[in-house]
């Protein structure tokens, strides 16, 4: 989760594509250079340990865009395939 947040902050679309499950990955990924990611808070996690094949991470990611502050609050689902964690999808909160 933290590495994907960093990839968004650094506009590293290649890393994001590599860590996105092919079943749910977008065909095209354009990152907005005007969106500045400021902080990541992990709210909770479930599963995702060394012996698990799936896990979830609830997080709040704080950003600034066009002088306005915002928060992305999501619970993300991940699966482990061939020893790698892949982002599947997420549920946004309020």
Please give the Cα distance from 53 to 24 (Å, whole number).
17
The whole-number pLDDT of residue 45 equals 97
Which of 3.10.450.50, 3.40.440.10, 3.40.50.300, 3.40.309.10 would CATH assign to domain 2-25+35-92? Answer: 3.10.450.50
* Average pLDDT estimate for 2-14: 97
Please give the Cα distance from 14 to 18 (Å, whole number).
6
* Average pLDDT estimate for 66-77: 97
The whole-number pLDDT of residue 40 equals 98
**Please, what is the Cα angle at 76 between 9 and 44, to 5 degrees?**
95
Task: Yes or no: say if 71 and 59 are a contact pair by the CB < 8 Å rule.
Answer: no
Q: Where are the domains of the chain?
A: 2-25+35-92
pTM for the predicted model, two decimal places: 0.93
């Amino acid at each position: 989760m933290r590495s994907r947040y960093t990839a968004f902050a650094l506009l590293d679309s290649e890393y994001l594509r590599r860590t996105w499950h092919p079943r749910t990955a977008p065909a095209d990924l354009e990152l907005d250079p005007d969106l500045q990611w400021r902080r990541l808070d992990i709210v909770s996690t479930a599963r995702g340990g060394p012996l698990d094949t799936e896990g979830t991470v609830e997080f709040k990611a704080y950003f600034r865009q066009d002088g306005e502050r915002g928060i992305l609050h999501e619970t993300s689902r991940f699966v482990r395939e061939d020893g790698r964690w892949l982002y599947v999808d997420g549920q946004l909160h309020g």
